[in-house]
Amino acid sequence: MDVSMNYSYRLSAAKGFSMMEILITMIIIMVGLLGIVALQAKAVQAELESYQRSQALIMLDDIVDRMNVNRQTVRNCFAFTTDTTEGTPFIGAAGTDHLGTPSCAASTSNYNTLADNALTELDNLLKGTQEAIDVDGETQNAGGIVDARACISYDSSTELGGISGTGLYTVVLSWQAMSELIAPVASCGNGLYGTEARRRAVSTTLRFAVLRGS
């Protein structure tokens, strides 16, 4: 066999093998980069979920604080969620079962006004009206968590000694999540989030002392 032809064949084979190595390396790098991008997307989603939950807990505490301040009207004005099975009415994001404009008539004019103002402020806080952005020429609220709704119910069967107002209050705050998990037990905003697996909820129960004169 001609030595020059043999050398040329080996050189061509070596060049082809090098190109194959480069191609395989590029594929491995691309797969790795796609994995990094997917991991980053998951991290961003987890961060958003964590942020929304932390904000929901802060809002839940705010609701409880306002109820505590308005004890004179809390029983008749703040316990507006009368259907605990469906979780309605509620305040916050819009919906057919939204409470609407508060109209407390449980006490004196001053106390009623304080209650109405507190509920209106909570409603706006849940809607995120404190910050607005322009999206394609349309103004949208961006100051809160996604589709936040709050329900407050009262259980008269838990009253102490038959004294009105001493029963347990349940406060639930629901919002829209990015991923699907097990649906929460609390029913606030039930059926308003597309799928129950995307509805998140935090809740707390409390009782107010009612002092009686001697």
* Token code pair at residue 139: 């103004």
Judged by average pLDDT, the poorest of 7-11, 23-27, 185-189 is 7-11
What confidence tens digit (pLDDT) does each residue in 161-199 have? 888 889 999 999 999 998 888 899 999 999 999 899 999
Q: Binning pLDDT at 50, 70 and 90, where does residue 214 land?
A: very low
Mean pLDDT within 128-142: 76
Look at the pTM and tell me if it is higher than 0.75: yes
